[in-house]
């Protein structure tokens, strides 16, 4: 059953595909599981297990065929057709994400944006029409959108998520720094940039302090 593939496996498959894309660009035709493992920061055994999920096996002698493997992962991960994505919250971050994804993954395209600012309504921003959130049900239903990106402030995010789920959304990429409560059958992935930067700054400081201990003191 496809739904039983763990989320971490899906994440790694997405990573492998990008690594394979780099190899294709470099003209590389074959790659061993241990090479892909080193590039991806995982074990070779993990790579081989993951490739079994997509039903691809390499030759022990020559490794995986790079182009064929990238194709197999694509067939596994992607919809058979180009898939529309909604974005809610066309502020600084929302615009950046629209610009970032524009044309990056042709199979996943942000095709509808939503914002509460009346000034933005019905304008085309970065190639994408901006609607009022009250239209979410109609627009999302009409375009058959199942995936949404939430880039509204924390205070608005739960209400937005509720409206999106009612409108038919089944997966949310959430940039708002709160945990969204959704019913079973809706997948939420969080990206919390503030938390990540605070973590990095904390450990950078720890690392700098550790280094600054005189060697004599360690002995």
Asked if 170 touches a copy of itself (CB under 8 A), the answer is yes
Asked if 59 touches a copy of itself (CB under 8 A), the answer is no
Write out the E strands in the chain: 30-31, 64-65, 83-88, 108-114, 124-125, 128-131, 147-150, 171-174, 187-190
Residue choice 55, 60, 106, 155 for contact with a copy of itself (CB under 8 A):
155
Task: Kindly report the number of other CB atoms within 10 A of residue 38's CB atom.
Answer: 13
Residue 201: CA count within 13 A, CB half-sphere: 6
Burial class (CB in 10 A: 0-12, 13-18, 19+), 121: middle
DSSP-assigned beta bridge partners for residue 114: 88, 131
For a copy of itself, the closer CB: 209 or 215: 209
Asked if 137 touches a copy of itself (CB under 8 A), the answer is no
| 48-to-5, 38, 77, 89, 160 alpha-carbon distances in Å | 15, 13, 17, 40, 40
Alpha helices per DSSP H over 32-186: 33-40, 44-53, 66-77, 92-101, 136-143, 154-166
Residue choice 44, 121, 132, 186 for contact with a copy of itself (CB under 8 A):
186
Residue choice 23, 149, 152, 161 for contact with a copy of itself (CB under 8 A):
149
For a copy of itself, the closer CB: 122 or 210: 210
Give the rounded distance of the alpha carbon of 57 from its chain centre.
26
Which residues within the stretch 193-212 sit at the binding site for a copy of itself (CB under 8 A)? 193-211
User: From residue 86 to residue 115, what is the string marking binding to a copy of itself with x (rule CB under 8 A)?
Assistant: ------xx-xxx-xxx--xx--x-------
Question: Total binding residues for a copy of itself by CB under 8 A?
Answer: 67
Asked if 22 touches a copy of itself (CB under 8 A), the answer is yes
Stretch that binds a copy of itself, among 55-63, 113-121, 133-141, 164-172 (CB under 8 A): 164-172
Asked if 81 touches a copy of itself (CB under 8 A), the answer is no
Asked if 24 touches a copy of itself (CB under 8 A), the answer is no
3-class secondary structure, 53: helix
Q: Are strands 83-88 and 108-114 parallel, antiparallel or unpaired?
A: parallel
Under the rule (CB under 8 A), what is the footprint of a copy of itself? 2-3, 7, 10-11, 14-15, 18-19, 22, 39-41, 77, 79, 83, 85, 92-93, 95-97, 99-101, 104-105, 108, 146-147, 149, 154-155, 169-173, 177-179, 185-189, 191-211
């Amino acid at each position: 059953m496809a739904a039983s593939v763990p989320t971490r496996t899906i994440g790694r498959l997405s990573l492998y595909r990008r690594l394979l894309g780099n190899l294709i660009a470099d003209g590389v035709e074959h790659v061993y599981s241990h090479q892909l493992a080193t590039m991806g920061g995982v074990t070779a055994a993990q790579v081989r297990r993951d490739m079994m999920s997509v039903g691809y096996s390499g030759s022990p002698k020559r490794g995986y065929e790079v182009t064929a493997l990238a194709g197999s992962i694509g067939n596994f991960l992607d919809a058979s057709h180009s898939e529309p994505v909604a974005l809610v919250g066309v502020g600084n971050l929302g615009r950046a994400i629209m610009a970032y994804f524009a044309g990056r993954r042709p199979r996943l395209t942000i095709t509808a944006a939503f914002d509460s600012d009346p000034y933005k309504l019905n304008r085309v921003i970065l190639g994408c029409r901006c609607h009022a959130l009250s239209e979410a049900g109609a627009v999302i239903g009409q375009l058959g959108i199942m995936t949404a990106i939430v880039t509204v402030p924390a205070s608005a995010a739960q209400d937005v998520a509720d409206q999106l789920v009612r409108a038919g959304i089944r997966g949310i990429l959430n940039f708002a720094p709160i945990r969204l409560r959704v019913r079973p059958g809706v997948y939420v992935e969080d990206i919390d940039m503030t938390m990540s930067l605070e973590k990095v700054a904390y450990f950078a400081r720890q690392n700098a302090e550790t280094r600054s201990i005189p060697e004599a003191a360690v002995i």
